[in-house]
Amino acid sequence: MTSVALLDLDGTLIDSADGVVAALRDGFVEAGLDAPDDAVLRTFIGPPVHDSVRRVGVPADLHDAVVAGYQRAFGERGNLMSHVFDGIPEALADLRAAGVRLVVATAKPYRFAVPVLEHLGLAPLVDGVVGAPDDESESKGGIIGRALASLPAGSRAVMVGDREHDVAGAAEHGLDCIGVLWGFGDREELEGAGAAALVGSPGDLVGTVLARLDR
Name the residues annotated as catalytic.
8
What letter does residue 79 receive in the DSSP assignment?
Answer: G
Instruction: Answer for the pair 114, 128: CB distance below 8 angstroms, yes or no.
Output: no
Query: Residue 40: which of 187, 184, 137, 186 has the closest Cα?
Result: 184
In which element (H, E) is residue 91 found? helix 88-97
Q: Is the dihedral of CA 145, 147, 151, 155 positive or negative?
A: negative
HSE value, Cβ hemisphere, 13 Å, CA-based, for 123 = 11
Query: Residue 161: which of 25, 31, 12 has the closest Cα?
Result: 12
d(CA 47, CA 80): 20
Query: Residue 95: which of 206, 187, 214 has the closest Cα?
Result: 206
Instruction: Answer for the pair 80, 116: CB distance below 8 angstroms, yes or no.
Output: yes
C-alpha 168: how far from chain center? 13
Beta strands at 83-84 and 14-15: parallel, antiparallel or unpaired:
antiparallel
